[in-house]
Amino acid sequence: MDDAVVIGGGPAGLAAAAMLLAKGLRVRVIERAAAIGERWRGHYDRLHLHTTRRLSALPGLAIPRACGRWVSRDDFARYQEDYAAHHAIAVELGTTVERVERAGDAWRVITSGGAIEARFAIVATGFNNQPRVPEWPGAFAGELVHSQRYRNGAAYRGKRVLVVGTGNSGAEIAADLAEHGAEVVWSVRTPPTILPRSVLGIATQALGVMLRPLPPAIVDQIGAAVARLTFGSLTAYGLPRAPRGLYTALLETDAIPILDVGLVDALRRGAVRPVAGVVRLDDRDVVLSDDTRVAPDAVIACTGFRTALEPIVGHLGVLDAHGVPLVDGPRGLADAPGLFFIGYTNVISGNLREIGTHARRLAGVLTAGAIRRRSRDGCP
């Protein structure tokens, strides 16, 4: 029997596997994609990490300096391949996990290739597992796609495009479309906090690392001051002030602040025009919450993803109402001992950095547990 089976061969799964292997545990990694890094290569072309190269590296291998400060989509995909090779992680590719079940004091993972039993099961498939498109009433006669299918704005030059969503993907795709000559209308239901990617050469992520231990109210005030001093008010360009501070919004609604990579300039130039939230679709029109209408050629829904974990572990009572694990990292649940999740926490200090921290701690917890079980079972 293996010590651990890791479900997901992305950054979280690879980091967890590497740290467990370093402790001498027997580990299997299951990944549904055909290649390591394949999901990252499927993102839009201009994507770069909003966190720095140094603070985005997984434990045990630095990202090469040649990748620059803000690592591109393709470079990060290659880094994952290199990471798996460096740590000798054997990833079973093209394998789908169908269900995780209790098997005595171990876990049985049922896959498209058969059943696997291990003392511990680690779920690391990530937030961005299944595209989420709101079920707007009505129908739209034009093109309506999720951001997962967006690559670049070349195909939208000269067209009017409605971008829906105020996360970092929505902001960057809106800017990308504007740079390619599209007329961009940006649907904003709740105004976001927008911060620069760096301040006086200091990465905003580094500020997040320093500020994270402080009370949310203080971090909110500092974030508002940075946004005000950097960008000033954007109300004149159609974007009201965010109703919540950046840390409060993250804690209460899981909303991450936008790190600007061109959106603010596009707003000031009028190349991106904010409008109200979408209420319904009406043939060629999209009806907004303020009773106005827009008539775009295309709608790009940057409306996030679902974990889609319900078929796999939903029966175990380990997910909240939104399908997100109740715990993340080295913490476990009393009702599911030996089952862990990694990569499901949004933090102001950077998700990849958090994954590295959790992977190290998780390895310590599982190593101690494996030693106790081997001693009890009389196994070497």
For residue 271, CA distances in Å to 55, 182, 310, 345, 363 come to 33, 8, 41, 34, 48
pLDDT tier at 377, thresholds 50, 70, 90: low
The tokens describing 12, both together, are: 């979280």
Q: Which of 156-160, 250-254, 298-302 is the least confident region? A: 250-254
Instruction: Find the helix or strand (DSSP H, E) in which 75 lies.
Output: helix 73-86
Q: What is the pLDDT of residues 315-368, one digit of tens each?
A: 999 999 999 999 999 999 999 999 999 999 999 999 999 999 999 999 999 998
Contact 47, 173 (CB under 8 A): no
Domain ranges of the chain: 2-129+307-377, 133-301
Q: Does residue 93 have a pLDDT over 60?
A: yes
pTM of structure:
0.93
Q: What is the pLDDT of residue 50?
A: 93
pLDDT average, residue stretch 103-125: 96
Q: Do domains 2-129+307-377 and 133-301 have the same CATH topology?
A: yes
pLDDT average, residue stretch 93-114: 96
Q: What is the pLDDT of residue 374?
A: 52
Q: What is the pLDDT of residue 368?
A: 81
pLDDT tier at 380, thresholds 50, 70, 90: low
Q: Does residue 25 have a pLDDT over 90?
A: yes
Q: Does residue 181 have a pLDDT over 90?
A: yes
CATH of 133-301, one of 2.60.450.10, 3.40.309.10, 3.30.70.240, 3.50.50.60: 3.50.50.60
pLDDT tier at 369, thresholds 50, 70, 90: low
Q: What is the pLDDT of residue 58?
A: 98
Of residues 44, 234, 249, 217, the one with CA closest to residue 145? 44
Contact 115, 108 (CB under 8 A): yes
Specify the residue for token string 């992977």.
359
The separation between CA 199 and the C-alpha centre of its own chain, rounded to angstroms, equals 23
Q: Does residue 375 have a pLDDT over 80?
A: no
The separation between CA 370 and the C-alpha centre of its own chain, rounded to angstroms, equals 30
Q: Does residue 379 have a pLDDT over 60?
A: no
pLDDT tier at 202, thresholds 50, 70, 90: very high
Q: What is the pLDDT of residue 1?
A: 86
Specify the residue for token string 């105020």.
166
pLDDT average, residue stretch 165-177: 97
Q: What is the pLDDT of residue 186?
A: 98
Q: What is the pLDDT of residue 301?
A: 98
Return the CATH superfamily for domain 2-129+307-377.
FAD/NAD(P)-binding domain (3.50.50.60)
Q: Does residue 271 have a pLDDT over 70?
A: yes
What is the residue-averaged pLDDT of the chain? 95
